[in-house]
Chain A
């Protein structure tokens, strides 16, 4: 039960951060990606804020024997740069650049009730299922991230 409350709380804080920094807005994200247009640096500050916290907090936490509420850390251990990693990240980059949605903002911005958000989510889930149905040789483990 405590684990479920922790997951809900973590999601709440994460989602509030996405909204506060306007990362839920595809137009804002596209304005960042548009380096040669009217560039909007917001995403740099968002990544910066997230990484300042992460870089300080993750290391001492992962040095502990186990998380507070679970038996072990489930964290990727691979270090090899593989074709699926690079090809997958490239495909993701194209999709992200076409519309301005990555998974977190796409899922959480359903709050705004824009029909195309739901269309994007349905297509995203279909894409994820496709990868599951057609396993690629050497593909990253699904638990990776």
Chain B
């Protein structure tokens, strides 16, 4: 894994905040990815196109970076297929049940000083760290 300087990470995070703020200031919507994707599963009039375009932008932003800035960049998904499927199911169920994910609760919710989002973020970061602890250090692997 390549080194990421703290400044690059801060700048990346700042852009995530800026993108979230743009969607709020322009369209009045929360940039919660699970909510935006989830809303496409029960399409309502006037609620489809902006979601599709936001997601297209999200993918486009990563593509721009990958093809123009860091073509050597890669990702590592070490987990095997069964774990990937179980994790996907849990993330899908959990984010809809809990009303948000890292973006909606973690960035937008905390920025609004929402008590629900602060609690949700503490819970999912804590549980995720505990999960990694169990998988990597207790079970081994």
Which residues of A line the B interface, CB within 8 A? 2-28, 30-31, 33-37, 41-43, 45-55, 57-59, 61-62, 66-76, 78-81, 84-104, 106-112, 114, 116-117, 119-132, 136, 139-145
Decide if the interface of chain B is mainly helix, strand, loop or mixed. helix
Across the interface, A92 reaches (CB within 8 A) one of B73, B98, B132, namely: B98
Which residues of B line the A interface, CB within 8 A? 1-2, 4, 6, 8-35, 37-39, 41-42, 49-51, 53-66, 69-70, 73-79, 81, 83-112, 114-117, 119-121, 123-133, 135-137
Known contacts A30-B132, A112-B75; A128 and B96 CB within 8 A of each other: yes
Q: Top 6 A-B pairs ranked by shortest CB distance?
A: A127-B92, A11-B57, A15-B61, A49-B13, A21-B12, A123-B88
CB pair B108 A142 closer than 8 Å: no
CB pair B6 A8 closer than 8 Å: no
Residues of B within 8 A of A142 (CB): 35, 38-39, 42, 96, 99
CB pair B54 A7 closer than 8 Å: yes
Q: How far is the CB of B101 from chain A (nearest CB, A)?
A: 5
The residue in chain A whose Cβ has the minimal distance to the Cβ of B110 is: A51
User: A20-B65, A30-B78, A104-B103 provided; 18 other pairs, C-beta below 8 A?
Assistant: A13-B57, A36-B133, A51-B110, A61-B24, A70-B27, A72-B28, A76-B109, A84-B97, A91-B97, A91-B98, A93-B124, A93-B131, A112-B66, A116-B84, A120-B85, A127-B96, A139-B97, A145-B103
A69 to B25, CA, bound (A): 8
Q: How far is the CB of A37 from chain B (nearest CB, A)?
A: 6
Residues of A within 8 A of B73 (CB): 19, 22
Across the interface, A37 reaches (CB within 8 A) one of B19, B107, B136, namely: B136
Decide if the interface of chain A is mainly helix, strand, loop or mixed. helix
CB pair B35 A145 closer than 8 Å: yes
A51 to B26, CA, bound (A): 19
CB pair B133 A16 closer than 8 Å: no
A144 to B126, CA, bound (A): 22
CB pair A99 B84 closer than 8 Å: yes
A107 to B124, CA, bound (A): 19
CB pair A33 B84 closer than 8 Å: no
